[in-house]
Structure 1
Amino acid sequence: MMMSTDNILKKHNLRVTPFRTLVLSLFTSAGKALSSHDLETELQDADRITLYRTLKSFEEKGIIHKAIDGTITQKYALCENECSEYHHHDEHVHFHCEKCENTFCLEQVFVPRVRMPDGFSAKQTNMVVSGVCDHCVLD
């Protein structure tokens, strides 16, 4: 069962404000990754700087993570409950639909461990699968 937006903010030591609650509710109801443009479209009167600061705070606190999808648009998605401040546990595959352009987290599909050659040190591994999502395949 999903925690309420207020409880998520409190759990991550963030003050509950109407704007943070609204932004977080967009993530919890979206079921997909959202770009800042997606959020600006939904929050038409929102101050852009406030939105970016909110996204940065959410990412730093482990509420959202960057959803790398191979496009030039930066997207964010809701983290799993285990994420915490500056420590994300979101090493899963991201799926980018070529038809609807949406990006989804596939939490049940983990990124395989990559063995690095001597002298190399990996900091992050991202895996993107592109194709047609389950919704678009029905069209």
Structure 2
Amino acid sequence: MNKLHQIIHAYGLRKTKCRTDVLSLFLANKHALTHATIEQQFGDLYDRVTLYRTLHSFEEKGLLHSINDGSGAVKYALCKEACNQHQHHDNHIHFSCTACGQTFCINEVHIPTLRMPAGYQVKELHFSAQGICNSCSRVS
């Protein structure tokens, strides 16, 4: 069994060509991807709804997490191994490069736990930073 099939199996997903193709695309990229980018990558091979359902099932199972980086388009990135269908553990910074437009998960920088006033329950916490990424800063 190859790596793609092992990952899909480990997350309790049924193996389909679309799922293996989409997962392969995420493994080949170091940055987050939008639905539109994924759609462009596959052209007419998969329709919009099939890709949406694939992303949704990946997110639901804890394989991907969604990112709202302020660009107006939801982006998706691979989760770390600790995520599962019951809870995402993506408590890290998302960095958006103002030069190339890519969004990256910065797993090395964790968001501290917040102490909320009584009665408040945090379900999700989004923390994003903007600036110049490592690749673009080397070009300048």
TM-score bracket, shorter-length normalisation: over 0.9
Tell me which residue corresponds to 2:25. Answer: 26
Letter in 1 for 2:138: L
Matches within 5 A, 1:65-80: 65-80=65-80
Deviations 1:89-130 (A, max 9, x none): 111110000111100001111012222233332222111011
Query: TM-score under structure 1 normalisation?
Result: 0.93
Deviations 1:35-93 (A, max 9, x none): 00110110101211000000000000111001231221100000101111131111111
Report the aligned-residue RMSD: 1.3
Letter in 1 for 2:42: L
Report which stretch shifted further, 66-75 or 33-42: 66-75
Tell me which residue corresponds to 1:44. Answer: 43
> Which structure 2 residue ranges, 5 or more long, are not aligned?
none
Letter in 1 for 2:102: N
Matches within 5 A, 1:1-139: 4-45=3-44, 46-139=46-139
Query: TM-score under structure 2 normalisation?
Result: 0.93
Letter in 2 for 1:93: I
CA distance in 2, matches of 1:112, 1:75: 23
> Which structure 1 residue ranges, 5 or more long, are not aligned?
none
Letter in 2 for 1:26: L
Show structure 1 runs of 4+ deviating over 2 A.
117-121
CA distance in 1, matches of 2:57, 2:85: 9
Letter in 1 for 2:58: F
Query: Percent of counterpart pairs with the same letter?
Result: 43
CA distance in 2, matches of 1:14, 1:120: 34
Report which stretch shifted further, 116-125 or 63-72: 116-125
